[in-house]
Structure 1
Amino acid sequence: MQFFKDLFASLKKPAAEPAQTPETTEEHYETFSHEDLSEAEKANLALRDATQKSLDRHWNTVGVSENDVLGYAVSPSFMGGPDWPSTRQAYRVVRRGDSIIFATEGMSDPFDGVEGLGNGFEMELFIETADIPEHARGAVGDVEPFTRSWAFELLKHLTREVAYAGGITERLEKYGSMSFEIPGFSKSDYMCDQLPAHFVTEDDMTGMLLGAPEADFSTQIEDMPLSPVKLVSVMLITAAELEYIRSGGQNARNDLIARLKSAGFGPVSSLTRASVV
Protein backbone atom coordinates (compact mmCIF):
# COMPACT_ATOMS: atom_id res chain seq x y z
CA MET A 1 0.00 0.00 0.00
CA GLN A 2 2.90 2.37 0.63
CA PHE A 3 3.95 1.87 -2.99
CA PHE A 4 0.42 2.72 -4.07
CA LYS A 5 0.48 5.93 -2.02
CA ASP A 6 3.80 7.04 -3.44
CA LEU A 7 2.88 6.25 -7.02
CA PHE A 8 -0.56 7.84 -7.07
CA ALA A 9 -0.18 10.80 -4.72
CA SER A 10 -1.96 13.01 -7.28
CA LEU A 11 -3.85 12.29 -10.49
CA LYS A 12 -3.51 15.86 -11.73
CA LYS A 13 -0.16 17.55 -12.17
CA PRO A 14 0.57 20.04 -9.36
CA ALA A 15 1.40 23.37 -10.95
CA ALA A 16 3.93 24.22 -8.26
CA GLU A 17 5.84 20.95 -8.46
CA PRO A 18 9.56 21.68 -8.94
CA ALA A 19 11.44 20.39 -11.94
CA GLN A 20 13.51 17.27 -11.37
CA THR A 21 17.27 17.38 -11.94
CA PRO A 22 18.49 14.47 -14.09
CA GLU A 23 20.78 12.03 -12.33
CA THR A 24 24.35 12.02 -13.60
CA THR A 25 25.33 8.73 -11.97
CA GLU A 26 24.26 5.37 -13.27
CA GLU A 27 21.61 3.90 -11.01
CA HIS A 28 19.06 1.13 -11.19
CA TYR A 29 15.39 2.14 -11.06
CA GLU A 30 12.62 -0.35 -10.56
CA THR A 31 9.61 0.35 -12.75
CA PHE A 32 5.97 -0.47 -12.07
CA SER A 33 2.86 -0.64 -14.18
CA HIS A 34 -0.84 -0.69 -13.48
CA GLU A 35 -0.73 -4.47 -13.63
CA ASP A 36 1.59 -4.57 -10.61
CA LEU A 37 -1.21 -3.24 -8.40
CA SER A 38 -3.44 -5.50 -6.37
CA GLU A 39 -7.09 -5.75 -7.30
CA ALA A 40 -7.99 -3.60 -4.28
CA GLU A 41 -5.51 -0.91 -5.34
CA LYS A 42 -6.85 -0.94 -8.89
CA ALA A 43 -10.39 -0.57 -7.59
CA ASN A 44 -9.39 2.33 -5.31
CA LEU A 45 -7.61 4.08 -8.17
CA ALA A 46 -10.68 3.68 -10.40
CA LEU A 47 -12.91 5.16 -7.69
CA ARG A 48 -10.54 8.07 -7.22
CA ASP A 49 -10.50 8.73 -10.96
CA ALA A 50 -14.32 8.64 -11.05
CA THR A 51 -14.43 11.08 -8.12
CA GLN A 52 -12.14 13.53 -9.88
CA LYS A 53 -14.19 13.32 -13.08
CA SER A 54 -17.37 14.09 -11.12
CA LEU A 55 -15.68 17.15 -9.60
CA ASP A 56 -14.47 18.21 -13.05
CA ARG A 57 -17.99 17.97 -14.48
CA HIS A 58 -19.55 19.90 -11.63
CA TRP A 59 -17.02 22.73 -11.44
CA ASN A 60 -17.15 23.19 -15.21
CA THR A 61 -20.89 23.90 -14.90
CA VAL A 62 -20.01 26.67 -12.42
CA GLY A 63 -17.13 28.24 -14.35
CA VAL A 64 -14.02 27.19 -16.24
CA SER A 65 -11.82 24.87 -14.24
CA GLU A 66 -8.08 25.03 -14.85
CA ASN A 67 -6.41 21.79 -15.93
CA ASP A 68 -3.56 22.17 -13.44
CA VAL A 69 -4.09 22.16 -9.69
CA LEU A 70 -2.18 23.86 -6.90
CA GLY A 71 -0.51 20.99 -5.13
CA TYR A 72 2.62 19.56 -3.62
CA ALA A 73 5.57 17.58 -4.95
CA VAL A 74 5.28 15.41 -1.81
CA SER A 75 2.01 14.98 0.05
CA PRO A 76 2.03 16.94 3.37
CA SER A 77 0.72 13.80 5.10
CA PHE A 78 4.19 12.29 4.63
CA MET A 79 5.77 15.25 6.44
CA GLY A 80 3.70 15.48 9.61
CA GLY A 81 0.68 17.27 8.16
CA PRO A 82 -2.92 16.16 8.68
CA ASP A 83 -4.20 13.16 6.77
CA TRP A 84 -6.73 13.58 4.01
CA PRO A 85 -8.64 10.50 2.82
CA SER A 86 -5.90 9.91 0.22
CA THR A 87 -2.47 11.38 -0.39
CA ARG A 88 -3.93 13.65 -3.08
CA GLN A 89 -3.94 17.03 -1.33
CA ALA A 90 -4.50 19.76 -3.90
CA TYR A 91 -6.56 22.84 -4.76
CA ARG A 92 -8.35 23.55 -7.99
CA VAL A 93 -8.80 26.97 -9.59
CA VAL A 94 -12.12 27.82 -11.26
CA ARG A 95 -12.50 31.03 -13.25
CA ARG A 96 -16.01 32.48 -13.02
CA GLY A 97 -16.38 35.83 -14.74
CA ASP A 98 -14.36 38.30 -12.68
CA SER A 99 -14.26 35.91 -9.73
CA ILE A 100 -11.85 33.13 -8.87
CA ILE A 101 -12.86 30.04 -6.93
CA PHE A 102 -10.27 28.07 -4.98
CA ALA A 103 -11.52 24.63 -3.98
CA THR A 104 -9.94 21.72 -2.16
CA GLU A 105 -9.32 18.67 -4.32
CA GLY A 106 -8.97 15.36 -2.49
CA MET A 107 -11.10 15.65 0.64
CA SER A 108 -13.78 13.60 -1.10
CA ASP A 109 -11.38 10.95 -2.41
CA PRO A 110 -12.14 7.38 -1.30
CA PHE A 111 -10.01 6.42 1.71
CA ASP A 112 -6.69 4.79 0.89
CA GLY A 113 -6.57 1.17 2.01
CA VAL A 114 -10.09 1.17 3.46
CA GLU A 115 -13.13 -0.41 1.83
CA GLY A 116 -16.80 -0.03 2.60
CA LEU A 117 -16.78 3.71 3.31
CA GLY A 118 -18.10 6.64 1.28
CA ASN A 119 -16.34 9.39 -0.62
CA GLY A 120 -13.78 10.41 2.00
CA PHE A 121 -14.90 13.30 4.18
CA GLU A 122 -17.88 13.68 1.79
CA MET A 123 -17.05 17.36 1.35
CA GLU A 124 -14.77 19.85 -0.38
CA LEU A 125 -14.20 23.45 0.75
CA PHE A 126 -14.26 26.45 -1.58
CA ILE A 127 -13.84 30.22 -1.43
CA GLU A 128 -14.87 32.66 -4.18
CA THR A 129 -13.67 36.23 -4.57
CA ALA A 130 -12.96 38.84 -7.24
CA ASP A 131 -10.58 40.72 -4.93
CA ILE A 132 -7.22 39.20 -5.77
CA PRO A 133 -4.21 41.51 -6.37
CA GLU A 134 -2.98 41.64 -9.95
CA HIS A 135 0.43 40.23 -8.99
CA ALA A 136 -1.28 37.16 -7.54
CA ARG A 137 -3.72 36.63 -10.42
CA GLY A 138 -2.40 34.27 -13.06
CA ALA A 139 -3.39 34.38 -16.72
CA VAL A 140 -5.49 31.54 -18.12
CA GLY A 141 -3.42 28.38 -17.91
CA ASP A 142 -1.10 29.81 -15.23
CA VAL A 143 -2.28 29.01 -11.71
CA GLU A 144 1.00 29.36 -9.80
CA PRO A 145 0.64 33.12 -9.03
CA PHE A 146 -2.56 32.39 -7.07
CA THR A 147 -0.45 30.79 -4.32
CA ARG A 148 0.49 34.34 -3.30
CA SER A 149 -3.11 35.47 -2.71
CA TRP A 150 -4.83 36.01 0.63
CA ALA A 151 -7.75 33.78 -0.39
CA PHE A 152 -5.57 30.78 -1.13
CA GLU A 153 -3.62 31.23 2.09
CA LEU A 154 -6.81 31.52 4.13
CA LEU A 155 -8.27 28.37 2.54
CA LYS A 156 -5.08 26.41 3.23
CA HIS A 157 -5.15 27.36 6.93
CA LEU A 158 -8.80 26.40 7.24
CA THR A 159 -8.35 23.17 5.31
CA ARG A 160 -5.62 22.05 7.70
CA GLU A 161 -7.99 22.36 10.67
CA VAL A 162 -10.86 20.65 8.87
CA ALA A 163 -8.57 17.75 7.92
CA TYR A 164 -7.41 17.38 11.53
CA ALA A 165 -11.10 17.16 12.51
CA GLY A 166 -11.77 14.48 9.90
CA GLY A 167 -14.29 16.67 8.11
CA ILE A 168 -17.18 18.77 9.36
CA THR A 169 -20.26 17.46 7.55
CA GLU A 170 -21.92 16.16 10.73
CA ARG A 171 -21.61 19.53 12.46
CA LEU A 172 -22.91 21.33 9.38
CA GLU A 173 -25.91 19.01 9.29
CA LYS A 174 -26.56 19.74 12.96
CA TYR A 175 -26.10 23.52 12.95
CA GLY A 176 -26.64 24.45 9.29
CA SER A 177 -23.54 26.65 9.29
CA MET A 178 -20.34 27.22 11.23
CA SER A 179 -18.02 30.07 12.04
CA PHE A 180 -14.28 29.78 12.29
CA GLU A 181 -11.37 32.03 13.16
CA ILE A 182 -7.69 31.85 12.23
CA PRO A 183 -5.09 33.23 14.68
CA GLY A 184 -1.82 34.96 13.85
CA PHE A 185 -3.01 37.34 11.14
CA SER A 186 0.04 39.59 11.58
CA LYS A 187 2.36 36.63 10.96
CA SER A 188 0.68 35.45 7.79
CA ASP A 189 2.52 35.43 4.49
CA TYR A 190 0.03 37.33 2.32
CA MET A 191 -3.16 37.99 4.25
CA CYS A 192 -1.52 40.64 6.44
CA ASP A 193 -0.56 42.67 3.35
CA GLN A 194 -3.72 42.15 1.29
CA LEU A 195 -6.66 42.28 3.72
CA PRO A 196 -8.02 45.64 4.94
CA ALA A 197 -7.72 46.40 8.65
CA HIS A 198 -11.44 45.93 9.36
CA PHE A 199 -11.10 42.20 8.67
CA VAL A 200 -8.73 41.59 11.59
CA THR A 201 -9.70 41.65 15.28
CA GLU A 202 -7.73 43.30 18.06
CA ASP A 203 -6.51 39.87 19.14
CA ASP A 204 -5.07 39.19 15.65
CA MET A 205 -7.81 36.90 14.33
CA THR A 206 -9.48 36.53 10.94
CA GLY A 207 -13.05 35.20 10.83
CA MET A 208 -15.18 33.35 8.30
CA LEU A 209 -18.52 31.64 7.84
CA LEU A 210 -18.75 28.06 6.56
CA GLY A 211 -21.74 26.72 4.65
CA ALA A 212 -23.74 29.96 4.50
CA PRO A 213 -25.12 32.08 2.96
CA GLU A 214 -26.10 29.76 0.11
CA ALA A 215 -24.19 29.89 -3.16
CA ASP A 216 -25.98 30.66 -6.42
CA PHE A 217 -25.06 27.23 -7.80
CA SER A 218 -25.63 23.68 -6.61
CA THR A 219 -23.31 22.66 -3.79
CA GLN A 220 -24.40 19.03 -3.68
CA ILE A 221 -22.75 16.48 -5.99
CA GLU A 222 -24.88 13.37 -6.20
CA ASP A 223 -23.09 11.49 -8.98
CA MET A 224 -20.07 10.46 -6.92
CA PRO A 225 -19.07 6.79 -7.12
CA LEU A 226 -19.63 6.02 -3.42
CA SER A 227 -21.67 8.75 -1.70
CA PRO A 228 -22.88 12.34 -2.25
CA VAL A 229 -20.40 15.15 -1.63
CA LYS A 230 -21.10 18.62 -0.22
CA LEU A 231 -19.25 21.70 -1.47
CA VAL A 232 -18.86 23.88 1.63
CA SER A 233 -18.55 27.62 1.05
CA VAL A 234 -16.08 29.77 2.98
CA MET A 235 -16.95 33.47 3.39
CA LEU A 236 -14.59 36.03 4.89
CA ILE A 237 -16.33 38.18 7.54
CA THR A 238 -15.35 41.47 9.14
CA ALA A 239 -13.87 41.82 12.62
CA ALA A 240 -17.12 43.38 13.86
CA GLU A 241 -19.11 40.43 12.51
CA LEU A 242 -16.76 37.96 14.17
CA GLU A 243 -17.08 39.79 17.49
CA TYR A 244 -20.87 39.69 17.08
CA ILE A 245 -20.75 35.89 16.77
CA ARG A 246 -18.35 35.61 19.68
CA SER A 247 -20.71 37.48 21.96
CA GLY A 248 -23.94 35.85 20.78
CA GLY A 249 -23.07 32.31 19.69
CA GLN A 250 -25.30 30.38 17.31
CA ASN A 251 -28.20 32.84 17.50
CA ALA A 252 -25.88 35.68 16.51
CA ARG A 253 -24.42 33.62 13.68
CA ASN A 254 -27.88 32.85 12.33
CA ASP A 255 -28.82 36.53 12.60
CA LEU A 256 -25.64 37.56 10.80
CA ILE A 257 -26.41 35.17 7.95
CA ALA A 258 -29.93 36.62 7.69
CA ARG A 259 -28.51 40.15 7.58
CA LEU A 260 -26.02 39.19 4.87
CA LYS A 261 -28.81 37.67 2.78
CA SER A 262 -31.01 40.73 3.30
CA ALA A 263 -28.16 42.97 2.15
CA GLY A 264 -27.73 40.87 -0.99
CA PHE A 265 -24.45 39.24 0.02
CA GLY A 266 -23.88 35.60 -0.87
CA PRO A 267 -20.80 33.62 0.13
CA VAL A 268 -18.58 35.55 -2.31
CA SER A 269 -15.88 37.24 -0.20
CA SER A 270 -15.56 40.96 -0.90
CA LEU A 271 -12.85 43.15 0.59
CA THR A 272 -14.87 46.30 -0.07
CA ARG A 273 -18.22 45.44 1.52
CA ALA A 274 -19.28 47.14 4.71
CA SER A 275 -20.02 45.22 7.89
CA VAL A 276 -23.71 44.36 8.42
CA VAL A 277 -23.54 44.66 12.23
Structure 2
Amino acid sequence: MNILITGATGLIGAQLTLQLIKQAHTITALVRDPHRAKQKLPASVTLISSLAPYTTLDTFDAVINLAGEPIFEHHWTLQQKRRLVESRINLTAQLVKLINASRIPPHTFISGSASGYYGNQDAQIVTENTPPTNTFPSQLCQRWETEALGAKTRVCLLRTGIVLSNMGGALAKMLPLYRLGLGGKLGSGKQYWAWIALDDMVKGILFLLDNKPCQGAFNLVSPNPIPQTHFNHTLASILKRPAFANVPEFILRLILGERAQLLLDSQNIMPEKLLSQGFVFAYPELKSALQAILK
Protein backbone atom coordinates (compact mmCIF):
# COMPACT_ATOMS: atom_id res chain seq x y z
CA MET A 1 0.00 0.00 0.00
CA ASN A 2 0.93 3.63 -0.47
CA ILE A 3 0.50 5.14 3.00
CA LEU A 4 0.59 8.73 4.28
CA ILE A 5 1.59 8.98 7.95
CA THR A 6 1.79 11.92 10.34
CA GLY A 7 3.72 11.79 13.62
CA ALA A 8 6.24 9.40 12.05
CA THR A 9 9.13 10.57 14.24
CA GLY A 10 7.24 10.04 17.50
CA LEU A 11 7.57 7.02 19.78
CA ILE A 12 4.75 5.09 18.11
CA GLY A 13 5.14 6.53 14.63
CA ALA A 14 8.84 5.68 14.26
CA GLN A 15 8.32 2.02 15.18
CA LEU A 16 5.20 1.78 13.06
CA THR A 17 7.02 3.23 10.05
CA LEU A 18 9.79 0.63 10.38
CA GLN A 19 7.24 -2.21 10.47
CA LEU A 20 5.32 -0.83 7.49
CA ILE A 21 8.53 -0.68 5.46
CA LYS A 22 9.35 -4.27 6.47
CA GLN A 23 5.96 -5.21 5.03
CA ALA A 24 6.97 -3.54 1.72
CA HIS A 25 4.54 -0.61 1.99
CA THR A 26 5.47 2.74 0.42
CA ILE A 27 5.57 5.48 3.06
CA THR A 28 5.17 9.24 2.80
CA ALA A 29 5.65 11.07 6.11
CA LEU A 30 4.40 14.56 6.93
CA VAL A 31 7.03 16.02 9.27
CA ARG A 32 7.78 19.41 10.84
CA ASP A 33 11.56 19.10 10.55
CA PRO A 34 12.70 17.13 7.46
CA HIS A 35 16.39 17.31 8.51
CA ARG A 36 15.67 15.71 11.91
CA ALA A 37 13.26 13.22 10.34
CA LYS A 38 15.89 12.18 7.78
CA GLN A 39 18.20 11.20 10.64
CA LYS A 40 15.50 9.19 12.39
CA LEU A 41 13.59 7.49 9.57
CA PRO A 42 14.76 5.05 6.86
CA ALA A 43 15.96 6.59 3.61
CA SER A 44 13.10 4.96 1.69
CA VAL A 45 10.54 7.20 3.42
CA THR A 46 9.42 10.18 1.33
CA LEU A 47 9.37 13.28 3.54
CA ILE A 48 7.01 16.21 3.07
CA SER A 49 6.74 19.30 5.28
CA SER A 50 3.30 20.49 4.17
CA LEU A 51 0.02 19.28 2.71
CA ALA A 52 -0.28 22.49 0.66
CA PRO A 53 0.72 20.85 -2.66
CA TYR A 54 -2.12 18.32 -2.33
CA THR A 55 -5.66 18.94 -3.50
CA THR A 56 -6.70 15.31 -2.95
CA LEU A 57 -5.24 12.13 -1.46
CA ASP A 58 -6.14 9.97 -4.47
CA THR A 59 -2.62 8.53 -4.65
CA PHE A 60 -2.76 7.06 -1.13
CA ASP A 61 -4.37 3.80 -0.05
CA ALA A 62 -4.41 4.68 3.65
CA VAL A 63 -3.72 7.57 6.00
CA ILE A 64 -2.40 7.13 9.57
CA ASN A 65 -2.66 10.27 11.69
CA LEU A 66 -0.54 10.18 14.87
CA ALA A 67 0.63 13.79 15.12
CA GLY A 68 -0.07 16.01 18.11
CA GLU A 69 1.69 18.23 20.65
CA PRO A 70 2.84 16.06 23.63
CA ILE A 71 0.19 16.43 26.33
CA PHE A 72 2.31 16.04 29.47
CA GLU A 73 5.36 18.15 28.65
CA HIS A 74 4.15 21.62 29.69
CA HIS A 75 1.74 23.21 32.18
CA TRP A 76 -1.78 23.51 30.81
CA THR A 77 -1.96 27.27 30.50
CA LEU A 78 -4.69 28.62 28.23
CA GLN A 79 -2.07 29.08 25.52
CA GLN A 80 -0.78 25.51 25.91
CA LYS A 81 -4.30 24.08 25.85
CA ARG A 82 -4.92 25.97 22.62
CA ARG A 83 -1.70 24.49 21.21
CA LEU A 84 -2.75 20.97 22.22
CA VAL A 85 -6.13 21.40 20.56
CA GLU A 86 -4.88 23.04 17.38
CA SER A 87 -2.05 20.53 16.83
CA ARG A 88 -4.64 17.75 16.71
CA ILE A 89 -7.80 19.32 15.31
CA ASN A 90 -6.32 21.49 12.55
CA LEU A 91 -4.21 18.75 10.97
CA THR A 92 -7.00 16.19 11.24
CA ALA A 93 -9.39 18.66 9.60
CA GLN A 94 -6.90 19.16 6.74
CA LEU A 95 -6.61 15.42 6.19
CA VAL A 96 -10.38 14.91 6.28
CA LYS A 97 -10.89 17.71 3.76
CA LEU A 98 -8.38 16.12 1.36
CA ILE A 99 -9.87 12.64 1.83
CA ASN A 100 -13.35 13.95 1.10
CA ALA A 101 -12.11 15.82 -1.98
CA SER A 102 -10.60 12.64 -3.42
CA ARG A 103 -12.19 10.87 -6.38
CA ILE A 104 -10.75 7.56 -5.15
CA PRO A 105 -10.15 8.28 -1.44
CA PRO A 106 -7.85 6.24 0.79
CA HIS A 107 -9.76 3.15 1.91
CA THR A 108 -8.70 3.60 5.55
CA PHE A 109 -8.13 6.56 7.88
CA ILE A 110 -6.56 5.62 11.22
CA SER A 111 -6.49 8.59 13.59
CA GLY A 112 -5.13 9.06 17.09
CA SER A 113 -7.07 9.61 20.28
CA ALA A 114 -6.34 8.62 23.89
CA SER A 115 -7.74 6.88 26.94
CA GLY A 116 -8.15 10.40 28.36
CA TYR A 117 -11.45 10.29 26.45
CA TYR A 118 -12.96 8.47 29.45
CA GLY A 119 -11.60 10.61 32.29
CA ASN A 120 -11.78 9.22 35.83
CA GLN A 121 -13.95 6.10 35.98
CA ASP A 122 -12.96 4.76 39.42
CA ALA A 123 -12.90 0.93 39.40
CA GLN A 124 -15.73 0.31 36.93
CA ILE A 125 -14.84 -1.62 33.78
CA VAL A 126 -14.59 0.71 30.79
CA THR A 127 -15.27 -0.36 27.19
CA GLU A 128 -15.57 1.56 23.93
CA ASN A 129 -19.26 2.15 24.81
CA THR A 130 -18.50 3.98 28.07
CA PRO A 131 -19.47 7.67 27.75
CA PRO A 132 -16.82 10.40 28.10
CA THR A 133 -16.47 12.92 30.91
CA ASN A 134 -16.08 16.71 30.97
CA THR A 135 -12.36 17.02 31.75
CA PHE A 136 -10.01 18.84 29.39
CA PRO A 137 -8.35 15.63 28.04
CA SER A 138 -11.78 14.12 27.45
CA GLN A 139 -13.07 17.18 25.61
CA LEU A 140 -9.86 17.27 23.55
CA CYS A 141 -10.27 13.62 22.52
CA GLN A 142 -13.95 14.09 21.73
CA ARG A 143 -13.22 17.00 19.39
CA TRP A 144 -10.35 15.09 17.79
CA GLU A 145 -12.49 12.02 17.18
CA THR A 146 -15.45 14.01 15.87
CA GLU A 147 -13.17 15.70 13.33
CA ALA A 148 -11.75 12.37 12.16
CA LEU A 149 -15.18 10.77 11.83
CA GLY A 150 -16.04 13.37 9.21
CA ALA A 151 -13.89 11.47 6.69
CA LYS A 152 -15.92 9.67 4.04
CA THR A 153 -14.02 6.41 4.32
CA ARG A 154 -13.36 3.66 6.87
CA VAL A 155 -12.24 5.37 10.09
CA CYS A 156 -10.49 3.72 13.06
CA LEU A 157 -9.84 5.76 16.22
CA LEU A 158 -6.98 4.83 18.57
CA ARG A 159 -7.91 5.38 22.23
CA THR A 160 -4.40 4.78 23.46
CA GLY A 161 -3.33 4.12 27.05
CA ILE A 162 0.15 4.52 28.57
CA VAL A 163 2.57 3.19 25.93
CA LEU A 164 5.45 1.33 27.57
CA SER A 165 8.89 1.49 25.98
CA ASN A 166 12.43 2.20 27.10
CA MET A 167 12.87 4.44 24.06
CA GLY A 168 10.54 7.19 25.20
CA GLY A 169 7.18 8.02 26.74
CA ALA A 170 6.16 7.63 30.38
CA LEU A 171 8.28 4.58 31.23
CA ALA A 172 11.49 6.16 29.95
CA LYS A 173 10.84 9.12 32.28
CA MET A 174 10.17 6.82 35.25
CA LEU A 175 13.22 4.57 34.86
CA PRO A 176 15.90 6.98 36.18
CA LEU A 177 13.87 7.55 39.37
CA TYR A 178 13.22 3.85 39.89
CA ARG A 179 16.85 2.97 39.29
CA LEU A 180 17.74 5.41 42.07
CA GLY A 181 15.25 3.71 44.37
CA LEU A 182 12.91 6.72 44.25
CA GLY A 183 9.88 5.02 42.71
CA GLY A 184 6.68 4.86 44.68
CA LYS A 185 2.96 5.26 45.09
CA LEU A 186 1.21 8.20 43.43
CA GLY A 187 -1.82 9.47 45.32
CA SER A 188 -3.78 6.56 46.77
CA GLY A 189 -2.14 4.11 44.34
CA LYS A 190 -5.56 2.53 43.85
CA GLN A 191 -6.18 4.20 40.50
CA TYR A 192 -6.11 1.83 37.53
CA TRP A 193 -3.57 2.51 34.81
CA ALA A 194 -4.45 1.39 31.29
CA TRP A 195 -1.19 0.49 29.57
CA ILE A 196 0.09 -1.18 26.41
CA ALA A 197 3.53 -2.36 25.28
CA LEU A 198 4.87 -0.44 22.28
CA ASP A 199 5.13 -3.69 20.28
CA ASP A 200 1.41 -4.37 20.85
CA MET A 201 0.53 -0.77 20.02
CA VAL A 202 2.22 -1.06 16.63
CA LYS A 203 0.81 -4.55 16.11
CA GLY A 204 -2.68 -3.20 16.90
CA ILE A 205 -2.43 -0.42 14.32
CA LEU A 206 -1.27 -2.90 11.68
CA PHE A 207 -4.18 -5.18 12.62
CA LEU A 208 -6.70 -2.34 12.12
CA LEU A 209 -5.07 -1.36 8.84
CA ASP A 210 -5.40 -4.89 7.44
CA ASN A 211 -8.85 -5.80 8.77
CA LYS A 212 -11.57 -4.03 6.80
CA PRO A 213 -14.46 -4.97 9.15
CA CYS A 214 -12.81 -2.87 11.90
CA GLN A 215 -14.09 0.67 12.22
CA GLY A 216 -14.91 3.23 14.88
CA ALA A 217 -13.17 3.64 18.24
CA PHE A 218 -10.79 0.99 19.62
CA ASN A 219 -9.17 0.89 23.05
CA LEU A 220 -5.45 0.32 22.42
CA VAL A 221 -4.67 -1.01 25.90
CA SER A 222 -3.66 -4.32 27.45
CA PRO A 223 -6.55 -6.54 28.63
CA ASN A 224 -5.03 -6.31 32.13
CA PRO A 225 -5.06 -2.74 33.49
CA ILE A 226 -3.61 -2.59 37.00
CA PRO A 227 -3.67 -0.32 40.06
CA GLN A 228 -0.76 2.13 40.10
CA THR A 229 0.65 0.63 43.30
CA HIS A 230 0.84 -2.77 41.52
CA PHE A 231 2.63 -1.12 38.60
CA ASN A 232 5.02 0.47 41.09
CA HIS A 233 5.89 -2.82 42.86
CA THR A 234 6.22 -4.76 39.59
CA LEU A 235 8.63 -2.28 38.01
CA ALA A 236 10.69 -1.96 41.21
CA SER A 237 10.88 -5.75 41.57
CA ILE A 238 12.16 -6.22 38.02
CA LEU A 239 14.77 -3.50 38.55
CA LYS A 240 15.63 -4.94 41.99
CA ARG A 241 15.18 -1.57 43.62
CA PRO A 242 13.13 -0.35 46.60
CA ALA A 243 10.08 1.76 45.80
CA PHE A 244 8.78 3.16 49.08
CA ALA A 245 8.20 6.77 48.06
CA ASN A 246 4.69 8.11 48.47
CA VAL A 247 3.65 11.28 46.66
CA PRO A 248 0.30 12.51 48.03
CA GLU A 249 -2.37 13.67 45.64
CA PHE A 250 -2.21 17.28 46.84
CA ILE A 251 1.54 17.42 46.10
CA LEU A 252 1.00 16.10 42.57
CA ARG A 253 -1.74 18.65 41.98
CA LEU A 254 0.45 21.42 43.41
CA ILE A 255 3.37 20.53 41.14
CA LEU A 256 1.53 19.47 37.99
CA GLY A 257 -1.73 21.41 38.20
CA GLU A 258 -4.45 19.97 35.96
CA ARG A 259 -1.97 17.55 34.38
CA ALA A 260 -2.00 15.52 37.62
CA GLN A 261 -5.26 13.96 36.49
CA LEU A 262 -3.33 11.99 33.86
CA LEU A 263 -1.61 10.16 36.74
CA LEU A 264 -4.51 10.10 39.20
CA ASP A 265 -7.53 9.25 37.03
CA SER A 266 -8.59 5.62 37.40
CA GLN A 267 -9.13 3.86 34.06
CA ASN A 268 -9.99 0.18 34.23
CA ILE A 269 -10.18 -0.03 30.45
CA MET A 270 -10.72 -3.19 28.39
CA PRO A 271 -9.85 -3.57 24.66
CA GLU A 272 -13.22 -5.16 24.07
CA LYS A 273 -13.51 -4.44 20.34
CA LEU A 274 -9.95 -5.51 19.50
CA LEU A 275 -10.41 -8.81 21.32
CA SER A 276 -13.78 -9.43 19.67
CA GLN A 277 -12.11 -9.02 16.26
CA GLY A 278 -9.53 -11.70 17.13
CA PHE A 279 -6.51 -9.56 18.03
CA VAL A 280 -3.94 -11.40 20.17
CA PHE A 281 -1.66 -9.43 22.48
CA ALA A 282 2.01 -10.38 22.60
CA TYR A 283 2.29 -8.86 26.09
CA PRO A 284 -1.06 -9.03 27.91
CA GLU A 285 0.58 -9.08 31.38
CA LEU A 286 2.59 -6.20 32.84
CA LYS A 287 5.43 -8.30 34.28
CA SER A 288 6.25 -10.05 31.01
CA ALA A 289 5.92 -6.77 29.10
CA LEU A 290 8.35 -4.95 31.40
CA GLN A 291 10.77 -7.88 31.42
CA ALA A 292 10.86 -7.85 27.60
CA ILE A 293 11.25 -4.07 27.44
CA LEU A 294 14.02 -3.91 30.05
CA LYS A 295 15.88 -7.06 28.96
Taking structure 2 as the reference length, the TM-score comes to 0.24
Output the TM-score relative to the length of structure 1.
Answer: 0.25
